[in-house]
Chain A
Amino acid sequence: DQQVKQNSPSLSVQEGRISILNCDYTNSMFDYFLWYKKYPAEGPTFLISISSIKDKNEDGRFTVFLNKSAKHLSLHIVPSQPGDSAVYFCAAKGRGGTSYGKLTFGQGTILTVHP
């Protein structure tokens, strides 16, 4: 049962343009959402998060949008840079039940930014 889904295995973007990574979830107990970036042979690096009481959070080039009714969130990176090329994971955690405390991850999206 995949509770967090990233349906695009890969995304290719030109340098300077916007990258949009998408994530869907099914568990209505999720109330906190995070994005991580991962390079090969390294641990995931935290990028940005959003609470379910908000619909947008911005940090520099990174913005996360949350649509609770659609159970959908997205990460926008603008402008995209070659150094952003990595695997991006969406994660969610909840306030109770089986979602309490722990992060549930999507499958990841490989972002490639071409110079």
Chain B
Amino acid sequence: NAGVMQNPRHLVRRRGQEARLRCSPMKGHSHVYWYRQLPEEGLKFMVYLQKENIIDESGMPKERFSAEFPKEGPSILRIQQVVRGDSAAYFCASSQGAGNTEAFFGQGTRLTVV
């Protein structure tokens, strides 16, 4: 049973380009969460999705950031017109449900904006 898979592991983008980060949850998990870790900081919640639905996007920046979790395929975190401040590690987690269940994390995507 494969764990949470994120790709790419490392992504370099020039300022103004788009970044697409992918996350395939664990088998049987229908809840996906995206977190961001800036250098020297903790994990900050960005968005919580179930299949085809955004449940909570209270941690998403108002502009340039979007997320989806389609019926088929991985969850995608999309950052348009990247800026240097977007450089961070982006982690995806998945769980079976919203209640008292553990969430398991992927290895993360390290985005560097040059």
Which residues of A approach B to under 8 Å, CB–CB? Answer: 31-32, 34, 36, 41-46, 49, 51, 89, 93, 95, 98, 100-108
Contact = CB atoms under 8 A, between A and B. Distances in A.
7 contacts: A36-B105, A43-B108, A49-B100, A95-B99, A102-B45, A105-B42, A105-B45
Interface string B35-52: 100000111110010000
Contacts of B107: 42-43
Contacts of B99: 32, 95
10 nearest interchain CB pairs?
A: A101-B98, A43-B105, A107-B42, A105-B43, A32-B100, A43-B107, A44-B105, A102-B48, A43-B108, A46-B102
B108 A42 contact: yes
B42 A34 contact: no
B18 interface: no
B12 to A, nearest CB: 16
